[in-house]
Amino acid sequence: MTPRNDELLSRVDSRYALVIVAAKRARQINNYHHQLGEGTFEETPPMVESRSKNYLTMALEEIGSGKIKYEYTK
């Protein structure tokens, strides 16, 4: 189940950061699944059990559960 927006926004400091973090993590999950057939494992596998096969949904579930942390550097 996809976390609610208010839950997600409590884990990040802005909507922009949420979009960037979720998109980057979704790309990592996509790359991981494509590497499975090649036998290489450079990316981290999904960190939550998800009913969805959508990588962006998986990324949002990871953020909502607190598995994904990010640090803003200047």
Nearest of 5, 6, 8, 18 to residue 64 by alpha carbon: 8
Residues 6 or more apart from 18 whose CB is under 8 A from it?
A: 8, 9, 11, 12, 63
Tens-level pLDDT at each residue, the chain (74 residues): 678 888 898 888 889 999 999 999 999 999 998 888 776 677 888 889 988 999 999 999 999 999 998 877 77
In the chain, domain spans:
5-64
Two tokens at 69? 């942390």
The whole model's pTM is what? 0.84
